[in-house]
Amino acid sequence: MKKIITLIFITSTIIASSLGQEKLTEIFGVVSDSAGNPIKDLTVFISFTSKGTTTNENGEYRLERIPAGEIELVFRHISFLPLTKTLSTNSEQAIQLNVSMKNNILEIREIVKRANPDNWKFGYEKFKEHVLGDPIGRHCEVKNPSDIYFYYDGERLTGHATKALEIVNNYLGYKLVYFLDYFWYNKDITNPDGSIQQESFAFSGSAFYVDRRDENVLRKMTWERNRMTEFNGTLKHFLLSVYYDQLVQQGFEIKQAWKNLQDLQKSENISPSMAYVRFLLMEKRFYWDKSSNKSIYLHYNPEEDYPIQSKTTDLNQVPPTKSIRMDDKLLVFNYWNEKHRMDEARVAYLAIVPDESGAKPQLEIDDQGNYNIIGGELIWNYLDTQTKLVTALPADYEEKWVLK
């Protein structure tokens, strides 16, 4: 079977779960346009979590029970340019945040103008396959698919939505309010030299989750069982495995990753010829590099495991925390299904980007999988072909974790 090369990029802001979940706060404010008029029905949320709301007729919003830590608050309305604000909620004091939005009508008109109805059926089939992860519509349903428009930009099929998509997930039991920034799809292309550039895709968006209520006990049990399955390989699963020294038992393999030959040579302080020999032994994975706005390869050696070592920082703290210092780029593999261990894994790119201080960042974790970054920012992006919206849990999903 021909190998399909895929590129997945979900723009997701993982809520920076701070240590000490007992500290909860609320965020409130007013959203207005550039003329100072209030905007109603605008969505305010922490991306890919269950923390979200909409503004009332006076442009007012309020988010409650927000855990302490650093968060990225997203303001979305299809008629206005997206806006993201980074906040630090380090106390129980409420935060007032008023924002002004810029109009986005011209971009919407351009999308509709370029759209071709003849591309819709094919484009939506690829959207269901690669974004929803449910090509036959068995588990995941878009209630307003006609708000997605498709057009070709050269050889690349591009999709945009002119409204927030309402997606009902019958597999995990959620309703998603999903803002699609773009969907790209490239079919197989024959290059002038006769080589084949295989099919690829990418998509970006933000969403918040609403837990569906159902009185059917059996359906609730099925949803919870499916959520427990999809919890494997998530960021919180990884952090808990680190905290309890259960990485191997939980099916994780960690590999150091390099973007290029010079990156490898510099990090390992070896000669160019030795770095080249090392590169010959490596495998690679597609990754969307946000800093350069293009897809690149991440190279890694499948035979070399990266040693993640944690140490207890404060036994007097309740709960006690563990810390990790790292400045390397990592690929985190989770072999969640033993029957397909050789060819199926959940893969994520993990990096901690230092802040302006230049100090080596420190990741602190507590016994609930909550984390705090000292001196940097955590990046966690899924790369595997299994992670689609139909199987994606909210980042603040609470799982009763059991050691194997």
The rounded average pLDDT for each run of 10 residues, N- to C-terminus, in the chain (404 residues) is 44 47 81 95 93 96 86 91 86 88 82 89 95 93 96 90 94 95 80 63 90 87 92 91 91 92 86 87 81 78 87 68 85 75 76 84 86 85 80 85 60
The DSSP code sequence of 170-221 is TTTTEEEEEEEEEEEEE--EE-TTS-EE--EEEEEEEEEEEEPP-S-HHHHH
Residue 370 Cα to chain centre, angstroms = 17
Question: Which residue's entry shows tokens 């010959």?
Answer: 280
Predicted TM-score of the model (pTM): 0.81
CA torsion sign for 228, 232, 237, 242 is positive
Q: Which residues of 100-124 are buried (b: 16+ CB within 10 A; e: fewer)?
A: ebeeeeeebeebeeebeeebbeebb
pLDDT (0 to 100) of residue 15: 46
- So what's the architecture of 1-88+98-230 in CATH? Sandwich (2.60)
The answer to whether the peptide bond before residue 394 is cis (omega within 30 degrees of 0) is: no
Count CB atoms within 10 A of the CB of residue 99: 17
Token pair for 302: 């499948």
pLDDT at residue 12, as a whole number: 45
Supply the DSSP symbol for 63: E
In the chain, CATH 2.60.40.1120 sits at 1-88+98-230
The pLDDT of residue 404 = 53
Residue 256: what pLDDT?
93
Q: What's residue 394's pLDDT?
A: 92
End-to-end alpha carbon distance in the chain: 35
| Model pLDDT, residue 40 | 95
